[in-house]
Amino acid sequence: MLPIYYSDVFLSHDTGAFHPERPARLLSIVKTLRSAPFANKLEWRDPPVASLAEIERVHSPQHIQSVAALAAAGGGRIEADTLVSSGSFEAARLAVGAWIAASERVLQTSQPAFVLCRPPGHHAEPEQAMGFCLFSNAAIAALWALEQPGIERVAIFDWDVHHGNGTQAVVEHYPQLAYASTHQFPLYPGTGSASEIGIHGNICNVPLPAGSDWSVYKSALSEKILPFLQKFQPDLLLISAGFDCAKGDPLAGMLLEPEDFGRMAQLCLEQVTRKTLFGLEGGYDLNNLARSWLSLAQVCLEGEP
């Protein structure tokens, strides 16, 4: 069985009619997975709401309160392209809770799990929301995991087309964490050059030019990302799974096909660890998004013992 952490509460994060990060993204993925030939092997699980103390592993009380207050006031713009609605604070807390609960499940079973949530998280910095992101889901889950018995190292691989500046800002301070990223460069948010390796050498950025297809990504993985992760030997791998590097995405210029995400997942599961969480970040073409998660699910289930 493949556990999927999802809730309709994530749909209550209302970004408005024309915002690319919209509820329809989740609806498209969920509909496709529920009607998949292997739907009986998917275990849909309700995520818990994260406590404020859990979110404070990364974020200041002031930042958390700013999101809560804006939601309580009915919503508004918290940053240039980042919106908060009345339901956003609850959805964001649930997203953090989903990443933590899925991490716990992966550690218990040594098998992969999915998190289908929004808002996404990899741009959110300790003191501010940005890039559609409110709380740093992956970084919070990574720090939670480090507190569990026997867990000494946690890695995050971010294949979203945009560099995860928020995740990197947290990870670079902890030698027990590692962050690897493939991303289109130059592109928002402008961070993620190859020279950014962190004070502990625990950062691996692989900026790629627009127009990169699977052959380029495959080389990046085999030459840089996978050796970096293998050397680190993580007890848990968190994947910030963004699908805006798919061909035709409205916010970027990469050329991956939906099946290529399954290929990336398979390389990680076979060459790094099956103790892997796949959590949704970006991806704004609904058809590509749904087909990509279908490909991921097939790969995860095929490797079941």
Q: Which residues are catalytic?
A: 123
Encoding tokens for residue 44? 């849909």
Q: Name the region of 157 (left: φ>0; alpha: ψ -120 to 50; beta: rest).
A: beta
Residue 110 CB neighbours (<10 A): 12
Q: How far is CA 220 from CA 30, 180, 181, 201, 242, in A?
A: 30, 11, 10, 18, 17
- 3 state SS of 82: strand
Q: Give the angle subtended at the CA of 209 by the CAs of 204 and 210, to the nearest 5°.
A: 130
Cβ burial of 35 (10 Å; 0-12, 13-18, 19+) is exposed
Residue 27 belongs to what H/E stretch? helix 24-34
